Amino acid sequence: EMQLVESGGALVQPGGSLRLSCAASGFTFSRYDMHWVRQVTGKGLEWVAAIGTLADTFYPVSVKGRFTISRENAKNSLYLQMNSLRAGDTAVYYCARGITTGWGHTAFDIWGQGTMVTVSS
């Protein structure tokens, strides 16, 4: 069974840092683009970061310079390093697999169950 399992969510103070992990299984991890998507309670889905099979990375303006996505193919793992956290970063964070290659075709066919990040003093 193809599966993604996130971990690392926690309560952190504003200005703090946190590292999320996502463990992949059931498919050849290295062959797929991977993403992080978040949802603030009561609001819509927001894409947070992407990393391609060649480790090229992309971010929205809202997190660029604060968040870093990385992958470790040998461990079938995806990471999101989050620094300078703000209250507005409080959300459920999902890791997701890109269904195919080519950024113009981006779609997410496998999602994790999500991990909660709360930024509060």
Partner 1 sequence: QSVLTQPPSVSAAPGQKVTISCSGSSSNIGNNYVSWYHHLPGTAPKLLIYDNDKRPSGIPDRFSGSKSGTSATLGITGLQTGDEADYYCGTWDSSLRAVVFGGGTQLTVL
Residue ranges that bind partner 1, judged by CB under 8 A: 35, 37, 39, 41, 44-47, 50, 58-60, 92, 94, 96, 99-100, 103-109, 111-114
If the CB atoms of residues 87 and 99 are measured against partner 1, the closer one turns out to be 99
Which residues have C-beta within 8 Å of that of residue 32, sequence separation ≥ 6? 53, 97, 98, 101
Nearer of residues 12 and 37 to partner 1, judged by Cβ: 37
DSSP assignments along the chain, one per residue: --EEEEE---EE-TT--EEEEEEEESS-GGGS-EEEEEE-TTS-EEEEEEE-TT--EE--TTTBTTEEEEEEGGGTEEEEEE-S--GGG-EEEEEEEESSSSGGG--EEEE---EEEEE--
Least CB distance to partner 1 at residue 65 (A): 14
Tell the smallest beta-carbon distance from residue 78 to partner 1 (Å): 15
In the complex, the smallest distance separating the C-beta of residue 20 from partner 1, rounded to whole angstroms, is: 15
User: For residues 16 and 53, which CB has a smaller minimum distance to partner 1 in the complex?
Assistant: 53
* Shortest Cβ 107–partner 1 spacing (Å): 4
CB nearer partner 1, residue 18 or residue 37: 37
